[in-house]
Amino acid sequence: MPDAARTIAERVRQRVLREGVDLAADDTVVARFARDEVRRHNELALGGVHEAVADEAGAERDVVAELVGFGALQPFLDDPTVEEIWVNGPARVFVARNGVSELTNLVLADREIRELVERMLQHSGRRVDLSSPFVDASLPDGSRLHVVIPDVTQSHWAVNIRKFQRRIRTLPQLVERGSLTREASEFLRMAVLAGANVLVSGATHTGKTTMLNALVSSARPSDRVVTVEETFELDLDVRDVVAMQCRQPSLEGTGEVTLRRLIKEALRMRPDRLLVGEVREAESLDLLIALNSGLPGMCTIHANSARDALVKLCTLPLLAGRNIDAAFVVPTVASCIDVVVHLAIDRQGVRRVEEIAVTTGCVDDGVVETEIVFRLEGGRLRATDARPARLGKLRAAGYDPEIVLGAA
């Protein structure tokens, strides 16, 4: 922030304190105060007291961002082309546009970074300190914030903001962007309407949450959807939806709400469809038990391929305790999961569906059997010669996948 804008911001801050204004109740007051102080600053500049501010509108924005926004990061948050922002240190502020990262020329002091993080966490009620050096939280606009502090990090606070994107909400929009073909989109729509259990896999930032949003948009309008996440990220275009997120323990170590607890609570809420934002640990066992009870569901998982996603889903439930073994988990995964949608991102930042696999319901030498029905070849998602072995759910819903698989 320019020195003049910083001086004006301090004057506005003093005026807010003097007049006892509650910025949380009315942040428009800051914009009015900033306008007044910028004009006053330039009037004094006419008398040679200091230099005038050339860009009054820009100075006003800087002051507002400093007091009620997120300071020097606010322009990146306001920029629709920026997908993600991360801070590795005072002079290492990066942004990603269209999946490609770039180093900005922004330099922040360590104190500024700490103050920004504290301001970001005010909305969520979460904290970060020596006893809890990690924090996951949502910003007021739905963007996801992740922070790690020393001595877990070497020298500086590490801050990551994954911006909330509302641009893609449906499967047809993904088709328009070239992320998948019309035939693959129709196959997935049939699967969702038939109540298939879908696992969305991929590496970080491949668009797993976006795909989950798009898949659920194909569900019936009457479906009651319950979502469970560590922090709110899903943005569903659904009429009947209940969204729940985890809660960190208090300073006394009490009050924690885990994903496992939320999945169990979700089953008591009469859901027609259960969504788990991402499975990483033992909560995968509770998800499998829910799906095994006949409740349609979807979730995301980090993996390198559709097959690897199923292998991982067979491994994670073992973290739930020594009384859980592969003899129970692997057949359960084979019978519960119907479709795996695997996503990838290339060096140019282009995100695509790389493969769509269906399970056969069988286990071969401890591995869940799958068939790849769509695979990315030559830059296009093409149907293979494989056909789903299990057609019960699709036929019961009145759908024939051969219509799209044979035409692709």
Cβ within 8 Å of residue 352, ≥6 positions away = 178, 179, 180, 343, 344, 345, 346, 376, 381
DSSP-derived secondary structure for 337-348: --EEEEEEE-TT
- Per-residue pLDDT, averaged over 362-379, amounts to 93
The backbone region for 203, taken as left when phi is positive above 0, alpha when psi lies in -120 to 50, beta otherwise, is beta
| Neighbour-count burial of 189, counting CB atoms closer than 10 A to its CB (0-12 exposed, 13-18 middle, 19+ buried) | buried
- pLDDT tens string 303-316: 999 999 999 999 99
Of the residues 67, 84, 117, which one is the last residue of a structural domain?
Answer: 67
CATH label of the domain that carries residue 147 = 3.30.450.370
Of the residues 141, 164, 187, which one is the last residue of a structural domain?
Answer: 164
pLDDT band at 408; cut points 50, 70, 90: low
Collapse the DSSP code of 138 into the 3-class scheme (helix H, G, I; strand E, B; otherwise coil) and give the result. strand
The per-residue pLDDT for 59 is 72
Q: Which of 221, 195, 171, 170 is nearest to 398 (CA)?
A: 195
Q: Rounded to whole angstroms, how far apart are CA atoms 290 and 86?
A: 36
Number of domains observed in the structure of the chain? 3
Across the chain, what does the average pLDDT equal?
88
Of the residues 164, 193, 211, which one is the last residue of a structural domain?
Answer: 164
Q: Indicate if 230 and 82 belong to the same structural domain.
A: no
CATH label of the domain that carries residue 310 = 3.40.50.300
This prediction has a pTM of 0.82
Q: Rounded to whole angstroms, how far apart are CA atoms 270 and 246?
A: 20
Collapse the DSSP code of 76 into the 3-class scheme (helix H, G, I; strand E, B; otherwise coil) and give the result. helix
Q: Indicate if 87 and 209 belong to the same structural domain.
A: no
The per-residue pLDDT for 85 is 95
- pLDDT tens string 148-206: 999 999 989 999 999 877 678 899 999 999 999 999 999 999 999 999 999 999 998 89
Q: Indicate if 240 and 336 belong to the same structural domain.
A: yes
Domain membership of residue 6 as a residue range: 1-67
Residue 366, token pair as written in the block: 């401890």
Pairing of strands 367-377, 380-383: antiparallel
The percentage of residues in the chain with a pLDDT greater than 70, rounded to a whole number, is 94
- pLDDT tens string 89-141: 999 999 999 888 999 999 999 988 998 898 888 877 788 888 889 998 888 88
Q: Which residue has the higher pLDDT, 258 or 1?
A: 258
pLDDT band at 1; cut points 50, 70, 90: low
- pLDDT tens string 216-252: 999 999 999 999 999 998 988 889 999 999 988 877 7
